[in-house]
Amino acid sequence: MHIIQVAIECTPIIKVGGLGDMVSGLSRALAHHHHVEIIIPYYSLIPLPLPTKILKKTLFSYSFLGKQKVAAVSYEYDGCTLTCLELHSQHELFATSSVYTPDDALRFCAFSVAATAYIQQLESVDIVHIHDWHVGLIAGLLKSHAIRTGKPSPTCILTIHNFAYQGECSTQILASSDILAPCLQAYQMQHSPQSSVLLQGAVTHADHITTVSPSYAREILQNHSSKDVDQAIKNKSQVFSGILNGIDQQVWNPATDSALKTNYDSSLLNQPQEFLAKKRENKTHLYERLHISAPKEQPCLCVISRLEEQKGLTFMKLAILHAMEHGYTFVLIGTSGNPNIQQQFVNIQTSVAHSPNIRLVLSYDETLARLLYAAADMICIPSLFEPCGLTQLIAMRYGTVPIVRATGGLADTVKPLVQGFTFSQIKTHKEFYNTLSLALHVYQQNPEWWFQLIKNGMHASFDAASMADRYLDIYRKAQAKL
Ligand code: ADP
């Protein structure tokens, strides 16, 4: 099959969260048996040249607020082709200091138009797989092209990585492309057609829609808001599936991860003392790096997360208090796009700067995050909602026990008291506090059970290859219009 993936993040070239990880993991897994090309925007944030071979460079034009020039530079990337679109005549749109900005609808629509023009030049494309609202315009543009030319368009698959972000914008932005009026209509809000929702149109036009876990798919369908997008997705419930994300087992591998002080893997699980000694060496290294002086016999609880309301910020702060009260280590690494939230965490960071056991690292640091997955004993993911979540999957692979809120993909991947600990209530904090206390108790009083949790987590396999198999099924069914 000739499969195109279009997204605005792709690890390791440009990543903010799990979207980039999923796009590259899925593409690499599919590329074992299929021809896969990933299309992303060229941001000036991406350092050039990429450390990989250029396969081709093409110049062409697209129509968005007039005729615009673009270069497509295709690189070899782990069995896939990675194509960066450099919007030459609108280059300011991607000359930003961060991936996400307040003008995202305009920037990502410009990219979507350029990406569609590029796809239309390619031969025999079977699948165009678009990720999230950012590139939702592509679904309507492909349909417009098919209507204009009378030729069938490639099968279009949409994956919703987070239903909370839908891409509301002025309809004028979409109308600046050459989308046909009947196709544009699917994006427009019924009661205020001058406004559009990119995800809504994409849902309507796509041949199949997926989201990143079965529970989250159910949560989306049970959503009772009065928004048009909810109705759009209910109308497509026959072609809407929840497919669990998997992690790329080569990229996330404690046996080979160069960020670790000492590597280890699940083959050591039958020698518990040696296994735990390896984790302890990583812990020692982490404590030296962060000047933590707390005893290493006590557990280390970590948080590795974007700092946004969705992620359960109040619970994170409560976990800090719990760690202070019980004298174990707490390390958070995270950043926020919201200056108020960032400031709140800077304030906490300053107040615990000299604490022996609490550290907050408020930056994006892949190397430190990897060391933390290996060094920590537990990871806390108290999300209010979570489409899938990758950090619990990575943590389990690194032998770190998850403590999660039972929602969306977290509920689908962490079996309570088998692989980790779960809580549900968000209106009161008692259950969460008790869950932390239970985890601490098992760690301190029942090492055999604790080790069994580690083992069960490491043996659970949420890999990108299984995810790719599920997507191939969907691609085939959607192509056959089953
Ligand atoms: P989301 O996509 O909602 O942010 P996920 O759990 O799906 O959440 O994915 C988060 C990804 O981002 C993981 O790969 C995690 O390791 C990484 N990550 C999050 N925050 C940081 C950070 N501050 N530094 C390094 N990596 C981070």
The distance in angstroms from the start CA to the end CA of the chain is 18
Of 312, 286, 338, 341, whose CA–CA distance to 431 is shortest?
312
Query: And the tokens for 308?
Result: 């946004």
CA distance 429 to 142: 48
Whose CA is closest to 98, among 155, 164, 25, 14? 14
Distance between CA 254 and CA 269 in Å, rounded?
Answer: 13
Which numbered atom of ligand 1 lies nearest the CA of 15? 12
* For the CA of 388, the nearest atom of ligand 1: 7
Report pLDDT for 299.
98
CA of 292: how far to CAs of 189, 287, 299, 337, 353, in Å? 53, 5, 13, 27, 10
In the structure, which protein residues have their CB atom closer than 6 angstroms to any atom of ligand 1? Answer: 17-19, 21, 304-306, 333-335, 364-366, 369, 389-391
Closest by CA position to 86, among listed 104, 61, 55 = 61
Nearest to 124 by CA among 78, 157, 155: 155
pLDDT of residue 48: 85
**Minimum-distance ligand 1 atom for the alpha carbon of 306:** 20
pLDDT reported for residue 55: 97
Q: How far, in Å, from the CA of 304 to the mean position of ligand 1?
A: 6
Calculate the CA 133 to chain-centre distance.
Answer: 14
pLDDT at position 481 is 83
| Beta strands, E only, 101-183 | 127-131, 155-160, 168-170
Residue 153 DSSP one-character state: P
**Among candidate residues 388, 165, 162, 421, the one with its CA nearest the CA of residue 315:** 421
305 C-alpha to ligand 1 centroid (Å): 5
Instruction: Report how far residue 356's alpha carbon sits from residue 378's, in angstroms, rounded to the nearest whole number.
Output: 18
8 A C-beta contact, residue 401 and residue 378: yes
Residues of the chain with pLDDT below 70 are: none
Q: Are 50 and 10 in contact (CB under 8 A)?
A: no
Extended beta strands in 329-440, E state:
329-335, 358-361, 378-381, 401-405, 421-423
The number of residues making up the chain comes to 482
**Which of 92, 89, 104 minimizes the C-alpha distance to 16?**
104
Exposure letters 289-309 (e unless 16+ CB within 10 A, then b)? ebebebeeebbbbbbbbbbbe
Cα 313 to averaged position of ligand 1 atoms, centre (Å) = 15
Nearest CA to ligand 1 atom 2: 18
Residue 226 is predicted with a pLDDT of 82
How many other CB atoms are found less than 10 A from the CB of residue 338?
12
Q: What is the pLDDT of residue 461?
A: 84
Mutate to test the pocket of ligand 1, among 21, 211, 413 (most ligand atoms within 8 A of CB): 21
The pLDDT of residue 364: 95
pLDDT at 225: 83
CA 448 to ligand 1 center in whole angstroms: 30
Q: Give, using CA atoms, the residue closest to atom 26 of ligand 1.
A: 366
Q: Which residue's alpha carbon is nearest to atom 14 within ligand 1? A: 18
Question: 359 φ, ψ to 5°?
Answer: -135, 140
Atom of ligand 1 nearest to the CA of 21: 14
Tell me the CA–centroid distance for residue 252 and ligand 1, in Å: 13
- 238: tokens are 């026959």
Cis peptide before 299 (omega within 30 of 0): no
Residue 384 burial (CB < 10 Å; 0-12/13-18/19+)?
middle
Among candidate residues 391, 392, 437, the one with its CA nearest the CA of residue 415:
392
Tens of pLDDT, residue by residue over 193-224, are 999 999 999 999 999 999 999 999 999 999 88
Within 8 A by CB and 6+ apart from 387, the residues are 160, 161, 162, 163, 211, 212, 213, 216, 408, 409
Quote the ligand 1 centre to 442 CA distance (angstroms).
27
Report the separation in Å between the CA atom of 16 and the middle of ligand 1, taken as the mean of its atom positions: 7
The rounded Cα 390 to chain-centroid distance in angstroms is: 7
d(CA 213, CA 245): 7
